[in-house]
Amino acid sequence: MSLLLDSARISEAETVSHWGWVGGITTNPALLAGSGLSPTETLARLASLTPGPVFYQLTARDLEGMLEEAGRAAKILGDQLVVKIMPTPAGFQAAARLSEKISCALTAVFSPAQALVAQAAGARFVIIYYHRARTLLPEAESRQLVGDCLAALSGSETHLLAASVKSPHEAIELRRAGVEYLTLPLSVLEALVPHPLSEQAAQEFQKHGAGI
């Protein structure tokens, strides 16, 4: 199981780099556009702040353009690169071509059928947008999405990763459903930690306890 930071802000990556329990960083074109640095500089800085994977989402829409852009991303991120690809016909083709040499993630997946094709194309991850699915898909489809994607990937080496996660409650819901990888904004990662009763217990130990 792994918790990832969903951000392209260097300051946020620096914050979680001191925690030791965040396993990598996911970005997307919108996050990169708001990082304050060039995408290349941002990716290089992010890679230096995590020992884990850094996800970069391709912006090219045609197959040759995706293959070329993935090559440029690999020059920046090396083995830390997981290339995120949109689930279009050209995107699945690109994943099938790249996945032998570069870790691929099909992203913005909203159906188990897309997950099935992503696995067949050799993707390492399938990324579902959980909160968007819950709010935008018909109720029945949204309820089934996680379980059906896990079923589509069962027995394979392709992992389900949930993005668009807006609260600790949604994070726990996803873990309970069997999702192994969650990418969370800093605010949600921070919200996982505190509990008032834990704080109360800590104060009691501080007041009355003894230690070595």
Catalytic sites, residue numbers: 84
C-beta of 99 vs 183, nearer to ligand E4P: 183
- Residue 129 binds ligand E4P, judged by CB under 6 A: yes
Which of residues 1 and 30 has its CB atom nearest to ligand E4P in the complex? Answer: 30
Checking phi first, is residue 207 left (phi over 0); if not, alpha (psi -120 to 50) or beta? alpha
The span of 64-72, 86-94, 128-136, 147-155 binding ligand E4P (CB under 6 A) equals: 128-136
Residue 7's closest CA among 31, 23, 30, 24? 31
Smallest distance, Å, CB 183 to ligand E4P? 6
The label of the residue with tokens 């919108």 reads 30
At 71, list the tokens. 């090559």
Among 3, 4, 6, 149, binds ligand E4P (CB under 6 A): 6
Dist. CA 60–CA 98, nearest whole Å: 14
Asked if 119 interacts with ligand E4P (CB under 6 A), we say: no
φ/ψ of 49, rounded to 5, equals -105, 0
The DSSP bridge partners found for residue 129 are 163
Nearest approach, Cβ of 131 to ligand E4P (angstroms)?
Answer: 6
Q: Which of 45, 132, 134, 175 binds ligand E4P (CB under 6 A)?
A: 132
